[in-house]
Amino acid sequence: MPDYTATELMIAAAAHELRDGTTLAVGTGLPCAAAMLAQRTHAPNLIIVFEAGGVAPLLPTMPISVGDSTTFHKALMATSMADVMQFCQRGMIDATFLSGAQIDAFGNLNSTMIGADYREPKVRLPGSGGANDLASFCWKTLIVMKHDAKKFVAKLDFLTTPGYLTGPGAREAAGLPADTGPDRVITDRCVLNFHPDTKRMRVMSLHPGNTLDDVRQATGFELAVADELGVTPAPTAHELHLLRTQVDPGRFLLGRDG
């Protein structure tokens, strides 16, 4: 049996997608853990931006919200949400890392409600926050979330955050900048990307111990497969040490696996 959990693998895989010297708008939870791990390994100059106004902090611990005081720790700038969104709209943010309650084949996200009736939903969720703005204007969107058929759905109960909307050309037709959109989806089963022509999600690599059938059974829509299907690298001993002792020593995220 591996000496890491599915959550630890997912965070490490997400961290591997981040590049040194780039700007990243991030929220709390798994995306923040991935950014913190990347800063402590291969991307020390990753510039993390929080929508509440913290720009380029050196996070000492896992923040509990985007307005937590730690999101300003040793930051280059302590500004406002209006400024951060303006940076995004001006094309100054390379990527954003988001999550959601539901995702469809084109990378559209729902974080608003579950159910058929908006006024009487089964579950009322937190809503967009800055996710819609960030996914609309950052150059690429990275998504991290658990993988099951209730989350990976053929049709969203509510469209909160745009991916490729209905397919090729739809973002541009809606007035969003060209060459933007979802780039990767990292789950506890695999890493996915999007076909450059159809804009539909496809499996890029399988996590150790998972099969293509496992992934397809956990997905509510038909999945394509990349021409070269890979295996996701397992987290290294050093990455696991950092995750457990520096990124999330309280195990607020790591303790929730399974």
> Which one from 8, 17, 51, 228 is the annotated catalytic residue?
51
Interior angle at CA 150, CA 145 and CA 156, nearest 5: 90
Q: Cβ of 127: how many Cβ atoms within 10 Å?
A: 12
Residue pointed to by tokens 């500004």: 79
Measured CA to CA, the distance from residue 164 to residue 201 in angstroms comes to: 10
Instruction: Specify whether the CB–CB gap between 191 and 13 falls below 8 A.
Output: yes
Handedness of CA 79, 83, 84, 85 (dihedral sign): positive
CA dihedral of 249, 250, 255, 256, whole degrees rounded to 10: -120
Sequence-distant (≥ 6) Cβ neighbours of residue 2 within 8 angstroms: 9, 208, 209, 234
User: Shortest CA distance to 145 belongs to which of 200, 101, 192?
Assistant: 101
Provide the H-helix boundaries in 145-203.
Answer: 170-173
User: Shortest CA distance to 70 belongs to which of 52, 88, 83, 47?
Assistant: 52
Q: Is 17 a catalytic residue?
A: no
Q: Known catalytic residues?
A: 51
